[in-house]
Every structure is written in C-alpha cells, then in structure tokens.
Chains A and B, each alone.
Chain A
Amino acid sequence: MSVPGPTAGTRLEGSVPGGVLSGSVVQRVRGAHLGMVPIVGALLVIWAVLGVVNPAFLSAENLVNLTLQSVPVGVIALGVVLVLLVGQIDLSVGSVSGLAAALLAVGTVNLGWPVWVAVLAALSVGVVVGLGYGVLSTRLGLPSFVFTLAGLLVLAGVQLVVLGPKGSINLPFESWFVRTVQQGFLPTPLAWVLVAAVVAAYAAVLAVDHVRRVRAGLRGPGTGTGRIAGRTAVLAAVLAAAVAYLGTARGVGYTVVLFVALVAVVDLLLRRTRWGRSVRAVGGDRRSALLAGVAVRRTVVSCFVACSTFAALGGVLAAGRLAAANQGTGAADTYLTAIAAAVIGGTSLFGGRGSAWSALLGVLVIQSIANGLTLLNLDAATRYIATGAVLLLAIVVDMLLRGRREI
C-alpha cells in the first residue's frame, strides 16, 4: 500500500462536489460537535443573572462555597456519565454513596479503623455493587433501569442497618480526613505552579499531535498553530481566572482539585484509549460494536463498576464535608441531581454521546441555581422547579440533536 502524500487528504477534501457538503450535513455535524459551547454559555448566563439579582452570588467566598458544594455530587455525576455513555443507567448512585458514607463513619468512629482502611472499604462496596450490576446486565440481560431501582431500595436499607438505631454518626472534626475535605486548600504558590504545569502539558500534547499530523501529511481538526495557541490561551485564561479569583477568598479546595483531576483523567481515557472508544461504540450501537469485535460485556461491566465506585467516593467526600454520615446522606434527590447534572452537561440519555466534562459543567449549573436561590431566600420548592426546568431543557436539546441525526 502506498502512503498518501501530503496532498491526499487535501485533494479528497477539495474534490467533494459542493452538493455533498451542502447545508444539511454541515449543520448536522455542527450540531453534534458543538460540544460544551451551549452548556458553558448557559452557565455564564445563569451566573450573570444570579449576580445581577444578588451580587453576593459572585463574591469570591460564595464561589469557593459553590465549588466545594459541587464536589460530592459532581463525582457521582462523573460515574453516571460513564453508565449513560455505555447506554445504561444507574438509579442507585445515591444509595451507594449513602452506604459508603455510613461505612466510613462506622469504620472510623465505632470500629476504630484508620481512615484509609475505612475509605478503601467504602470504595470496595462500590466496586462490588458495580460488579453485581454488570453481571445482571451482561449475563442475565436485565434492563439496568429495573435492577438499579431495586439496588436503590436494597442499598438504602443496608445503609440504615449499618448506621444502626441512632441513624447518625458524627466524624471527629479534628480527624485529618475531615480537616482536609472541609478546610484543605491549595496553597497559592502551589496553585500557580499547577496551573503552569497543566497549561504547559496541554500545549505540549497539542504541539506533538500537530507535528505528527503534519509529518504524516494529514490535515483537519486539531491542527494549525493558531488553533493550538487559541486553545491553550483559553485553558490558561480559565484556570488563571479561577485560581486568582478564588484565591482572594479561601482558594481552591483539595477536593475540588481531586474532582477536576478525575474529570480530566476520565476524559483522557474516554477520548484516547481503546476502552473509551469501546464505551462510546457500545453505547452508540451495541450490535455493531459486537460485530466489530468490541468486548461488549467487559465494557459494560467496567462502566457499572466505575459508576458505583465514583458514587462511593462521592459519599465519602460528602461525609467528610458534613463531618457526619446519617440517614439523609445520599438520600432523597442525590441520584436525581447526579443524573440531571450529567444530562444537563450534555451527556445523552440514549448512549454513545457525551463527555466527562459534562459532569463538571452540569453540576456547576445545578449547584449555581441551588446556591443562588438559597442566597435569595427562596425555598426548596423554587429550587426544584428551576432545576427541573433546566433539566427539561437539556433533554429537549438532547432529543433534538438525536432526532436530527436519525432522520
């Protein structure tokens, strides 16, 4: 086989008759590839509106709170993104997080385990639950909607059993775990070093990609020095603004760094590894993925395991943040909020489309609404209605994108 010269791609792209690339195709593709632009725009609008109505919302101290509030549900939503991507759902993430929180509290307080042992125990509950779901889904072929609904109830019951008759266990405030989760903030110099390192690494990856593509005679998205500079500048601006502004108050919490790092790693795995490609393929078209030789079962199981494990981690972080685990941890609307966050962030309920970043953006939208409305002394009713409306909007957008792509 001959390797195409530098012109091969160009020539083919140029040789397409105008009719083939006419409006509809371009629109369809643009619709699919708008990616995070709509949700970022929505977030900015929400911030602007809330900031105008109550300037306290945009104060650095409040935004620090907002970031800290977003972490536990955000971590859970990150797992939800994975199950949604592979075309499944997990309704039990709230119960899993509550059970994990209960285990952490009982382990450290009642049984005297070291914190890291209790955390590992809590996380392994997530792993085991996810494996169970994976078996139910891939071996028995049950619909995940049903068995995770059962899981929601069963695990909520187990959580109550673990918590015991008192129903609430306080974690000691002086434990390093609680202190880190509640009051651990990145020292400012370290924050700037981190920003510089991340931006440099990002630019380096883009540059290496660019050089390889040019050498291979390829053109297309992701190339061009202007584009590299632009994307690097945007990243640098966002990170610098966040660190500088939050730094005028308490700064960037360790748990926030952990959450963003998890999102970035999952994003990398989804976009750049064989596993990530399998996830999108299985979620997009399970039969075709199977015929193409994708290990469908293993992929589905891995997503259930990752989801439950992230849910458990979210519960652990929630317990640390409240310095307590009780019957309310992970209960009520936790799972709905997490699923709503994933969908609002742009991950499709129908599988195959979405991004790890939708967990971060979606949870920021939801928590901004909750936080802003609380500042305005509006009650939970308004918050539920507002969040529900945004969710509805997000699903309509999802349906429209999907509908346009199928007709």
Chain B
Amino acid sequence: MTGVPDQPVLAVRGVSKSFGGVRALVDVDVDVHEHEVLAVVGDNGAGKSTLAGILAGAFRPDEGQLLLDGAPVALDSPKQAHALGIAAVFQDLALVDDLDVVENLFLGRETLQGPFLDEVSMEREAWTLLDQLAATVPSVRLPVQALSGGQRQVVAVARALLGEPRVIVLDEPTASLGVRQSAEVLNLIERLRERGHAVVLVSHQAGELQAVADRILVLRLGRVHGEFAGDASYEDLLAAMTGAVRPVRGEHDAVPRGARHAGGAGVVRR
C-alpha cells in the first residue's frame, strides 16, 4: 500500500451534515489509517450511517472537508469514491433485488469482452470472492431477492472488496448475520487489516467490536464523544454511547492511543 507512514489515508476535518432540521453530524474529525480497523459506534440515530455515507461519497458534507493522503478531495459520487479506492457496504446493502448475484457484484463495473459482457470471467471471480467469505450462496445466478438476509449481506461485502479498495467502509456488516458468518466477516476484517487496508467498521453492538477494532470512535447525537483503544471496556463504551459520562471535548485528540480506556474509569452505569 502507498502513503506516508502515519499519515491518515483518509481524514475527516470539521465535517457537519444536516438533513432538514436534523443535525446528523456536527463538527466531526476522524482519521482513517491503513493497517488499521477503526470502529464507529453509537446509538440509533447517532449519525454513523451519515458518516459512512460521507466517507463513501453518497453524501456531501455541509461543512468541513475530506483529505485523501493529506490532499482535500470532494467526493461527488460513490463511483468517484470507488475510483479513488474507497468502497462501502451501505446499511441497507444497496443491492438490486431483480438482478442476480453476479450482476449485483459487478454492477457499474462489469467486465467486458469486446462490446459484450464477459459473464464467464465475472462468474468465476464471483465464486472466488464468495469462497473467500465462506459464503453459502446456493447459486450466483439467483436474483438476490431469493437470498436470505445473511447471504445478501455477504454479497454486499463481496462487492465492496472487488477491485481491492484501500479504504473499506462497512456499515453494520454483521447486523443480519448468523454466528458463523459474523465470525467469518470479522475474520475477514482482520485479514483486510493485515493486507494493509484501512477498515471503517460501523456498529451499534459495542460487544463484537472489541475483538477486531484498533480504535473505537463513539458518536452520540452527531458528535464525537470520545475515542477509545480497541480493548476499551464494554462499560466505558456504553457510557460514552449513552452519555452517562461526557468525556472532555477534544480529549481524544490529546490522549495517546492505548491509554485511552483509562479515561472511562469510574464511570457509573445507569
């Protein structure tokens, strides 16, 4: 992977985003590093998906900017973000129900053979990818409508992996997965980190994150409410998510990584 050591591959600076009167994100700063899994947690409506959408080019921030390798970029569309090496699995998966698995995986970037689609090579690559994810998709020629929720999720994850993006944003990738598939996806996330990808993992289940996250960013009501090390205790995360304790604003910028979860000591659970 390219890039200056320690420089975030993707950085969010002072980003705010409103939907009508709803302030979904307020002055958010995030750094995304290669070889690292950044988890984003928060309660429902905290702004996690909005942040994921901004990283993936689906939303444009009202204020603030994105830096890719230190240079400001404006992501106008998911396609452009993908071209710059940022891929995402959206919370609602964004699959086209009437298209089959192969068609969905390659939608918008089909492999061609002359003027025509190269179905054979696409189908083969589809099997390779799904194999890596230990997917139990019965056939890649089924419309995704006919798949179970978990199978659909695996298809969406596989689509994000196509083309080896540098940054992979996963919005609740395990939400509808069973135990085995969840473990498989978390495993995959670790493998992605080892291969040097930057992974942004959005979840509201603080529990599963501790296994894979290097850093955990807590969002509450659109604001960053603390950044924790990957091994932060569940209680600390929960406290920050629910607002039982309010870490001093800006603290997360000063505290060195790894020492952070101490900051949550003494939190009283409600």
Contacts and interface: CB of A to CB of B under 8 A. Distances in A.
A292 B99 CA distance: 13
A16 B139 CA distance: 10
Contact of B103 (A17, A21, A277): A277
Given A28-B146, A273-B117, A293-B77, A284 B141 contact: no
B82 A293 contact: yes
A403 B260 CA distance: 52
A352 B96 contact: yes
Interface stretch (A44-52, A211-219, A252-260, A321-329): A211-219
B29 interface: no
Nearest to A16: B138
Contact of B98 (A13, A218, A274, A280): A280
Interface in B120-178: 120-121, 123-125, 127-132, 135-143, 145-146, 148, 159
Majority secondary structure, A binding face: helix
A400 interface: no
Nearest to A291: B94
Contact size class for B? 35 or more
A379 interface: no
Nearest to A21: B138
Interface in A324-377: 352-353
Instruction: Among A216, A221, A285, A292, find the residue whose CB has the most chain B CB atoms closer than 10 A.
Output: A292
Interface string A9-33: 1001101110011000100110010
A378 interface: no
B228 interface: no
A288 B94 contact: yes
A28 B233 CA distance: 46
B82 A216 contact: no
Interface in B96-132: 96-99, 103-104, 107-110, 112, 115-117, 119-121, 123-125, 127-132
Contacts, number: 131
Contacts of A17: 136
Contact of B123 (A20, A28, A218, A281): A218
Given A218-B124, A273-B117, A274-B117, A291 B141 contact: no
A280 B99 contact: yes
A292 B139 contact: no
A32 B123 CA distance: 20
Given A291-B90, A293-B77, A293-B78, A16 B136 contact: yes
Contacts of A16: 136, 138
A2 B119 CA distance: 18
A4 interface: yes
Contact of B120 (A20, A212, A284): A212
Interface string B42-81: 0000000000000000100000000000000000011100
A291 B136 contact: no
Contacts of A405: 97, 143, 145
Contacts of B40: none
Contacts of A284: 96-99
Contact of B110 (A3, A13, A277): A277
A74 B107 CA distance: 31
Contact of B139 (A28, A220, A273, A283): A220
A288 B95 contact: yes
Contact of B127 (A12, A209, A274, A283): A12
A281 B117 contact: no
B107 A281 contact: yes
Nearest to A405: B145
B110 A12 contact: no
B117 A352 contact: no
A234 interface: no
B109 A15 contact: no
A40 interface: no
A218 B132 CA distance: 17
A4 B94 contact: no
Contacts of A274: 110, 112, 117
24 contacts: A1-B129, A3-B124, A12-B136, A12-B138, A16-B138, A25-B138, A32-B98, A209-B119, A213-B120, A218-B123, A274-B112, A277-B99, A277-B110, A280-B99, A281-B96, A281-B99, A288-B96, A289-B107, A291-B78, A291-B94, A292-B78, A292-B79, A292-B104, A293-B82
Interface of A: 1-4, 8-9, 12-13, 15-17, 20-21, 25, 28-29, 32, 209, 212-213, 216-218, 220-221, 272-274, 277, 280-281, 283-285, 287-294, 352-353, 405
Given A212-B120, A277-B103, A281-B99, 5 more contacts: A218-B123, A284-B98, A289-B107, A291-B58, A405-B143
**Pairs A-B, 3 closest by C-beta atoms:** A293-B79, A293-B108, A284-B98
